[in-house]
Amino acid sequence: MKLVFCVNRELGLHRELTDYLAQAPGGVGDMTDLGGENWTALEREIDNDAATELAEDVHMRFKDTPVEWSMVANDSRKKKLLISDMDSTVIGQECIDELADFAGKKAEVSEITERAMRGELDFDGALTTRVKMLAGLSTDVLQACFDERIHLNPGARTLVRTMASNGARCLLVSGGFTFFTSRVAAAAGFHADSANTLIIADDKLTGEVQKPILGRQAKLDALNTACADIGCTVQDAIAMGDGANDLAMIEAAGLGIAYRAKPVVSEKADAAIKGASLEPALFFQGYRETQFVRD
C-alpha cells in the first residue's frame, strides 16, 4: 500500500507532512516527492498490516485541514478508465438548479436536488419532479445557462487530459442532461458522455425527460460496459462523484473518489477530495506534477 499526501504548496505544510510520513507506523523505505511548482505531494510505502490503523489516524489528524490523502494499492495504480459524474464534480454547478433559476424556481428545485444527492429521495422521482418545473422554458435558455453559469472545476481539464494522454479512456456520465454533458465533455477532453435527454417541442421544454432515466444503476452499468470495451477490470478504473447517485460506481471501481461529497458517499469511498482542485486524483495514481498536462 502507498500513503499519499498532497496539499497546495503555498500553504507551507511540507515539513509537517514529511515528519508525519517519516514516523508513520508501518512505513517502509524512503518517501517519494511527486509534487512540483504548485503542490506538495508525498508518498511512502506502508506495510499492509499497518494500513488500516494508520488510515484511521490520518483521518483524525488531517480531517479538518486542507490536506488531501489516500491509502492506495500498488497494483493497477495508474488507471485505464476514468468515469466521472458532471454536476458539482467536473463542474462547480448543478445544471438543473441553474436552469430552474431562469424559470424563477431555483429554491424549490435546489432543495430537491440536495435531498436526492444525500440519498434521501428516489433519484428517478426527484428528477421527474424537477424537470416538470422547467416546462415552458425556451431552448435558448439552455445555451444561455451554459454560457453564463457553467464552469469547469479547477484541475478538471488537467485530470482528463493527463489520463487521456497516458492511454486512459475518459467518460462523463451524468444524471443531468445531454445538452450540458456534450459541451462539458468537449471542454474538459472526455472521450464520450452520457446523460438524460430533455424532451423538446416547439422550441420549448415540455417538462419531461426521455425514459429510461440514467441513474445510479446506469452509471454502474456504464462502468462495467466501458471496462469490457477496453479489456480491463473495474480494478483498473477510477470513478468519481459527489452524490448518492454515484455511490454504486464509486464502490465498484478500483479507486473510488468522493469529490466534495455528501457524507453518504465520502464515508464509503476509497478517497475523498475536500478542496476545489481535482488534481489530487492524479497524485493518488502515482503521477508526478511534472507529468500533468496543463494548458
CB 259 within 8 A of CB 89: yes
User: With the C-alpha atoms ordered 284, 286, 288, 293, is the resulting torsion angle positive or negative?
Assistant: negative
User: What is the three-class DSSP state of 131?
Assistant: helix
273 vs 204: CA distance, rounded Å: 38
152 vs 87: CA distance, rounded Å: 10
Q: What angle do CA 37, 62, 15 make, to 5 degrees?
A: 45
174 vs 189: CA distance, rounded Å: 16
The helix or strand, by DSSP H or E, that contains position 238, with its residue range, turns out to be strand 237-241
Confidence of residue 70 (pLDDT cuts 50, 70, 90): very high
95 vs 198: CA distance, rounded Å: 12
User: What is the three-class DSSP state of 268?
Assistant: coil
In this predicted structure, what is the pLDDT of residue 234? 98
Is the pLDDT at 295 greater than 90? The verdict is no
The helix or strand, by DSSP H or E, that contains position 228, with its residue range, turns out to be helix 216-230
Global pTM value:
0.96
User: Which cell numbers in the block locate residue 265?
Assistant: 458517499
In this predicted structure, what is the pLDDT of residue 29? 86
Average pLDDT over residues 32-45: 97
Label the pairing between strands 192-196 and 204-209: unpaired
Residue 113's Cβ-side half-sphere holds a number of Cα atoms within 13 Å equal to 22
Q: What is the pLDDT of residues 271-283, one digit of tens each?
A: 999 999 999 999 9
In this predicted structure, what is the pLDDT of residue 75? 87
Q: Alpha carbon of 212 to those of 21, 37, 156, 243: distances in Å? A: 49, 46, 29, 20
Which residues, 6 or more positions from 222, have their beta carbon under 8 angstroms from its beta carbon? Answer: 83, 171, 173, 194, 249
Delineate the domains of the chain, giving CATH numbers in brackets: 1-74 (3.30.70.120)
Q: What is the pLDDT of residues 234-293, one digit of tens each?
A: 999 999 999 999 999 999 999 999 999 989 999 999 999 999 999 999 999 999 999 999
User: What is the three-class DSSP state of 230?
Assistant: helix
CB 273 within 8 A of CB 283: no
Residue type (1 letter), 263 = P
Which positions are annotated as active-site residues?
85, 87
Q: What is the pLDDT of residues 120-170, one digit of tens each?
A: 999 999 999 999 999 999 999 999 999 999 999 999 999 999 999 999 999
Q: Alpha carbon of 258 to those of 162, 203, 237: distances in Å? A: 20, 37, 14
In this predicted structure, what is the pLDDT of residue 257? 98
Q: What is the pLDDT of residues 78-123, one digit of tens each?
A: 999 999 999 999 999 999 999 999 999 999 999 999 999 999 999 9
In this predicted structure, what is the pLDDT of residue 81? 99
Q: Alpha carbon of 161 to those of 37, 143, 155, 166, 291: distances in Å? A: 19, 25, 10, 9, 11
